[in-house]
Amino acid sequence: MAERPPLLVGRGVTRYFGGVAAVQDVDFEVRAGEVLGLIGPNGAGKTTLMNLISGLLPLSRGDLVFEGRSLKGLAPWDIARLGIARTFQIVKPFAGMTVRENVAMGAMFAREGHGVPARQALEVADEVLEMVGLADRRHSYTDELTIALRKRLELARALALNPRLLLLDEVMAGLNLREVGQLMELVKSINARGVTIIVIEHVMKAIMGISDRLVVLHYGRKIAEGPPQAVAQDEKVITAYLGRRFGQGKGA
């Protein structure tokens, strides 16, 4: 596979909370069109990194460059307008608005040249809802949906922004096996349309199956990077997840 150009580059990305570094000196890059898996034990800093990229947290040090533009100091809405969309681990649907209206938000506030006025946005929303399989619930209110459907809504909403880069934060959490499979297919099809994706996931089967490459974080630092198979056998990674006893003796 030819080297794709980098879409997002992180250089020395660092974030402190008080005296503790949640993310420390992380260098990484996400190539256009790929699916990058972000894994690591709980507390490794994955969600923090995602918050940094989407602008909800300011960088303590380092830089994030998207399509040649630095994201430093930009507000979340500016970053969304640049073409980076995200979902939340604990979903944040817009209560008081229907599923259709939720998704229409994305179409209305999409990036330069892709945003549409409100009335059209509702129609665009219908298309997106078709794609994710929520079309029959379009007039429901968000608290009428099951958790699986809310996750899908979260995804649909982010999609409607027509992003270049999509950040998925544990979008499979709380889903049963069948739902995980369905969502995996959906993510793959989204990627097939040219959307670059960063996925945080704990469901190993899912993330191994859809990622082109993996980045592994542990206590805020990057400890491994590469194709899924290679990373899975990396001694440092195994140690991080399972403890030293399992890690020793396993070579790459």
Partner 1 sequence: MSPAPARRGGVITAIALVVLGVLAALPPFYLSGYWVRVLTGLLMYGALASAINIMVGFAGYPALGNIVFFGVGAYTVAVLMVKYNTDFFVALVAAGVLAALYAMVLGAAVLRLRGAYFGIATIGINHATSEIVTNLDSLTGGGRGTIVPFYPGGIEEERMFFYFLMLGLMVLAVATVWLISRNRLGYGLRALKADQEGASVMGVNTTRYKVIAWTISAGLTGLVGGAYAYWLAFLEPPYVFDITMSVKTYIMAILGGAGTVAGPVVGAFALELLSELIWGRFLEAHMLVLGIVVVLVVLFIPQGFMNLAGRLVGLLRGRRRPGEVGADG
Contact footprint for partner 1 (CB under 8 A): 54-56, 75-81, 85-86, 88, 92-97, 101, 104-106, 108-111, 117-119, 139, 141, 143-144, 157, 161
The nearest distance, CB 129 to partner 1, in angstroms, is 14
CB 152 within 8 A of CB 140: no
- Residue 29 · residue 9 · CB < 8 Å: yes
The Cα 131–Cα 83 span in angstroms is 20
Q: Where are the alpha helices (DSSP H) in the chain?
A: 46-54, 76-82, 99-108, 118-132, 147-160, 177-192, 204-210, 228-232, 235-242, 244-247
Q: Which is nearer to partner 1, 37 or 163 (CB)?
A: 163
d(CA 212, CA 238): 19
Please identify, using beta-carbon distances, which residue of 104 and 240 lies nearer to partner 1. Answer: 104
- In whole angstroms, the minimum distance from the beta carbon of 204 to partner 1 comes to 27
Nearer to partner 1, 92 or 244 (CB): 92
Measured CA to CA, the distance from residue 214 to residue 232 in angstroms comes to 9
The residue among 24 and 142 lying less far from partner 1, judged by its C-beta, is: 142
Beta carbon of residue 54, minimum distance to partner 1 (angstroms, whole number): 5
To the nearest whole angstrom, how small is the minimum distance from the Cβ of residue 81 to partner 1? Answer: 5
